[in-house]
Amino acid sequence: MERKKVLKKVTLLGFFVAGLIITFNFSAKLKEGKIVPTESIGLVADELEVNKNVFSLQESFVNVARTVKPAVVQITTEKTVTLRYWDPFGNFGSPFDDFFGRRQPKKKEYKQKRKGLGSGFIIDSSGYILTNNHVVKGVDKIMVKLLDQEKKLEARVIGTDSKTDLALLKIKGRKAFPTVKLGDSDVIRVGEWVTAVGNPFGLEETITVGVISAKGRKGFGISQYEDFIQTDASINPGNSGGPLVNIKGEVIGINTFIIAPSVATGIGFAIPINMAKDVFVQLKEKGKVVRGWLGIVIQPLTESLAKSFGLEKSEGVLVGDVMEKSPAEKAGLKNGDVIVQFNKKVVKNPSELQQIVARTSPGEIVPVKIIREKKKKTLQIKIEEMPADEKVIAETEERRQWRGLQVETITDNLVKRFNLTTEEGVIVSNVEPGSLADEAGIRIGTIIKQIGRKTIRNLSDYSSAIKGVKKNEDVRLFVQEGEHTHFVVLKGEEEKQKQ
């Protein structure tokens, strides 16, 4: 009996040991990848693939930070401003002055240094730095700090371009500086990963990650040539001028501005690097950017405007005004012409035409196809160099302002803003206080529909009509305010002087 019990225990122990051996061998083979339970095959494979992709993406961002940061700089600026205040206890004179109330406060001045902060990146090993124009505009001193050194280097401005909000700086101190690699912003796609590098709030070499949210954003009034990349990578004060980088570590944009945090978050904008490449070359070689110039005021050709000109399609760009002695005027371009081709390139909107003209070399003669009074015509226009901002602005405002009035084309935004019921006419954008227009009761938002007996459908009609009104002549205007229309008389300039 005892013998049977011993044999039973030995047998059980044998089975147990055998089980341990089998389990050990199975586990070993499982680890070696030789045996995988059927129900777990998909799960293990998926987990391995996910981990592989996650670590690969993570390493990509690490590589971007490692390769780009050495060429990103912190820019600090200094500007001396004069502040004025009134000293209520100043200008003491005779003891009787205070008694008779003749004591006058004294105007005092003092100077204060104001500091600014921004970012930039080295684009050339000899020390050329690209940044935003608004970072360095009007400052007295610019200092640059690199990642690997505490000592700041003084930078000088090589050239600026307000039309694209770009500036080129130069620093010295090394034989060769680290540089960034430039990408191609024309081939970027919405949804691609991007990294913003800069110095937000003075926090050096900060990296933020997001995606390209949209392309071709414009209409902000930040600069004349707008074609911004929109991103949700965090951009804050101090990021301006820093690079927007793709997953390959290539700079595809220059971080420029954000929508106010009180309005929205995660909406930042960058200048495409392809726009900056040409600006860099010209600023480096000439210290300025030379652009082609036509000398016209242009506007979108809406469906209603196209219909008013008897056109079947709203394709092309409408000429609202032609500047005196400009290339356009010399070639015979007129108000109301619709530009459909420039130098054999089809033109679809004002922004596109603006970009093409700007890239045309001054002195080049280009064919410009237009539609005038329903007939197609080709003009040969010799492009000239775009004059300074001040000259263009002054001439445009002078041509647009008339008897204290300034008007604009009625756009979709203005229709929504003023709750307009029509797109025909021109809308008053400004009225000079005390002017003839002010005395006539014309207000901002008023739509001018008729001048004299001439119907005003657009800016071209308006410009043509006011040219036909003599300086001292009273003229009747038919206007619309809200849903109501009425007539007003706008007095001549000499009539006002006689009063």
- Kindly state the helix (H) or strand (E) to which residue 365 belongs, with its residue range: strand 365-372
| Model confidence at 11: pLDDT above 70 | no
DSSP 8-state symbol, 278: H
Chosen domain end from 389, 413, 437: 389
Q: What is the pLDDT of residues 403-456, one digit of tens each?
A: 888 888 777 667 776 777 777 888 888 888 888 888 888 988 889 999 988 898
Query: Which one from 161, 165, 227, 321 is the annotated catalytic residue?
Result: 165
Question: What are 338's strand-pairing partners?
Answer: 318, 371
Query: Which one from 119, 134, 213, 337 is the annotated catalytic residue?
Result: 134
* 324: region left, alpha or beta (phi > 0 left; psi from -120 to 50 alpha): beta
Q: Which of 418, 470, 468 is nearest to 443 (CA)?
A: 418
154: helix, strand or coil? strand
In a domain, 36, yes or no: no
Q: What's the pLDDT score for residue 122? A: 96
**Domain CATH number, residue 152:** 2.40.10.120
Chosen domain end from 289, 324, 354: 289
Chosen domain end from 289, 324, 341: 289
As a whole number of Å, the CA-based R_g of the chain is 34
Mean predicted confidence (pLDDT) in 303-314: 80
- Is there a single domain that holds both residue 139 and residue 242? yes
181: helix, strand or coil? strand
Q: Which tokens hold the place of 232? A: 């949700």
- Is there a single domain that holds both residue 276 and residue 132? yes
Q: Is 240 a catalytic residue?
A: yes
pTM, two decimals, is 0.65
- Is there a single domain that holds both residue 71 and residue 184? yes
- Is there a single domain that holds both residue 122 and residue 226? yes
In a domain, 272, yes or no: yes
Residue 438: φ, ψ to 5°? -65, -45
Q: Which domain holds residue 73?
A: 47-82+114-289
Q: What's the pLDDT score for residue 351? A: 82
Q: Which tokens hold the place of 54? A: 């996650």
Q: What's the pLDDT score for residue 445? A: 84
Mean pLDDT across the chain: 81
- Distance CA(301)–CA(313), nearest Å, equals 9
CA within 13 Å, CB half, 266? 7
Q: Is 412 a catalytic residue?
A: no
In a domain, 77, yes or no: yes
Question: What is the pLDDT confidence band of residue 176, given thresholds at 50, 70 and 90?
Answer: very high
CB atoms within 10 A of CB 225: 18
Query: Which one from 240, 435, 460, 463 is the annotated catalytic residue?
Result: 240
The total of structural domains in the chain comes to 3
